[in-house]
């Protein structure tokens, strides 16, 4: 197939590009390199299988997107490009609406004009906000009530996508739409080429690995008084390659006129302390951990009920061990302590 992958140079997008190339697709990767890494594209170029075309561009440039869609006869769009820091979205909400909603609408306009038939959207469990205890584990019918501008922008785009799909069906040109609501994506490609490199880094696993690497002076646990077994927050960590596998499966199965939504998480939660134990075990390094107060906006426990995605797509996480997830992240980070910038040859 001929795919357009937005945010293709980012952490999750680059893993998608890698998988799609391996599967033999033509991949037009688009990224404005605001937080993406040109180096990831350079590393992926020689991948055997498919064909990679990279364009440095904003997805909000609908004229350019439409041109690319026509030029490469794009039939499927995977839309990863977005800003994804909850805290930043609270401080700079307009930036988030601009990037995650407005630019997304421009992309949809291009899809509409170019007659793209399939659209897979990277949504988030942040669209559920802070579900009450009876909704944990979280299934797709849980009320969506975001508590951050980030989550709200993801939900707004879900709504726009749904409405667009309905309009296309009414016009007799149905499109296939899927939205995948990610839990905590972690780990790195196990062939060792790609990894997670954010600036700033705020995610628990890479922060802890950076502490183990001595790149930072220890780290903090944000909150030890949550109503969880050990007092720290519980999250569902899904390996990035399993996450991408869910995209490939839904892409193959979603039919014209359908709008499907799936949660993607392994279906079990690990506490912050359990994650830190795993990082210590895997790296063999013990680093300083300070206990701090809660970080604003962190729900106590979020983990998935994977029944729907298992039933419909036959998807099940292949990596469920925290040590394995952490190890894949560790392997890349210890070889690339300066991230992609440090690996430029």
Binding site for ligand UFG (CB under 6 A): 84, 86, 124-126, 150, 184, 202-204, 207, 219-222, 233, 235, 272, 295, 298, 302
Note whether 3 and 29 are within 8 A (CB): no
Tokens, residue 261: 């939504």
Helix (H, G, I), strand (E, B) or coil at 329: helix
Q: Using only the alpha carbons of the chain, give its radius of gyration.
A: 19
Residue nearest to ligand UFG (CB): 233
**Min dist. Cβ of residue 169 to ligand UFG (A):** 30
In the chain, count H helices and then E strands.
13, 13
Nearest residue (CB) to ligand UFG, 175 versus 246: 246
**Min dist. Cβ of residue 110 to ligand UFG (A):** 25
Nearest residue (CB) to ligand UFG, 20 versus 126: 126
- The H-assigned helical ranges of the chain are 11-22, 38-44, 62-71, 86-91, 93-96, 103-114, 149-170, 204-212, 240-253, 272-283, 307-313, 322-335, 339-342
Our answer to whether residue 262 is catalytic in this structure is: no
Instruction: Give the pairing of strands 234-235 and 270-271.
Output: antiparallel
Catalytic residue among 150, 226, 303, 340: 150
**Min dist. Cβ of residue 7 to ligand UFG (A):** 13
CA 45 to chain CA mean position, Å: 22
**Min dist. Cβ of residue 14 to ligand UFG (A):** 17
Helix (H, G, I), strand (E, B) or coil at 130: coil
Instruction: Give the pairing of strands 176-182 and 259-264.
Output: parallel
Nearest residue (CB) to ligand UFG, 123 versus 343: 123
Give the span between the Cα atoms of 116 and 118, in whole angstroms. 6
Nearest residue (CB) to ligand UFG, 176 versus 263: 263
| 167 Cβ neighbours under 8 A, 6+ residues apart | none
Nearest residue (CB) to ligand UFG, 219 versus 279: 219
Give the span between the Cα atoms of 130 and 132, in whole angstroms. 6
**Min dist. Cβ of residue 235 to ligand UFG (A):** 5
Nearest residue (CB) to ligand UFG, 270 versus 315: 270
**Min dist. Cβ of residue 250 to ligand UFG (A):** 20
Catalytic residue numbers read 150
């Amino acid at each position: 197939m001929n795919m357009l992958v937005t945010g293709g140079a980012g952490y999750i997008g680059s893993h998608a590009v890698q998988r799609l190339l391996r599967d033999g697709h033509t991949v037009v990767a688009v990224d404005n390199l605001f937080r993406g890494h040109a180096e990831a594209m350079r590393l992926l170029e020689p991948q055997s299988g498919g064909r990679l075309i990279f364009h440095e561009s904003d997805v909000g440039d609908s004229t350019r997107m439409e041109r690319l869609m026509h030029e490469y006869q794009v039939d499927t769009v995977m839309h990863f490009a977005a800003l994804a820091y909850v805290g930043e979205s609270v401080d700079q909400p307009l930036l988030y609406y601009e990037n995650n909603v407005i630019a997304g609408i421009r992309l949809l306009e291009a899809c509409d004009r170019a007659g793209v038939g399939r659209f897979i959207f990277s949504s988030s469990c942040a669209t559920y906000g802070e579900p009450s205890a009876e909704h944990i584990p979280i299934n797709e019918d849980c009320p969506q009530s975001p508590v951050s501008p980030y989550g709200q922008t993801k939900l707004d785009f879900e709504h726009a996508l749904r409405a667009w799909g309905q309009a296309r069906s009414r016009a007799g040109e149905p499109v296939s739409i899927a939205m995948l609501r990610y839990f905590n994506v972690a780990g790195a490609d196990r062939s060792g080429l790609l990894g997670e490199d954010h600036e700033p880094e705020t995610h628990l696993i890479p922060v802890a690995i950076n502490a183990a690497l001595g790149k930072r002076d220890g780290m903090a646990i944000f909150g030890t008084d949550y109503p969880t077994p050990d007092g720290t927050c519980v999250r569902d960590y899904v390996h990035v390659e399993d996450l991408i596998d869910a995209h490939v499966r839904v892409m193959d199965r979603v039919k014209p006129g359908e709008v499907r939504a799936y949660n993607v998480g392994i279906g079990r939660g690990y506490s912050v302390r359990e994650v830190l134990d795993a990082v210590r075990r895997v790296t063999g390094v013990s680093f300083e951990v300070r206990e701090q107060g809660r970080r604003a906006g962190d729900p106590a426990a979020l983990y998935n009920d994977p029944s729907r995605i298992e039933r419909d797509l036959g998807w099940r996480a292949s990596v469920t061990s925290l040590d394995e997830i952490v190890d894949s992240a560790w392997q890349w980070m210890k070889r690339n302590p300066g991230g992609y910038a440090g690996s430029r040859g």
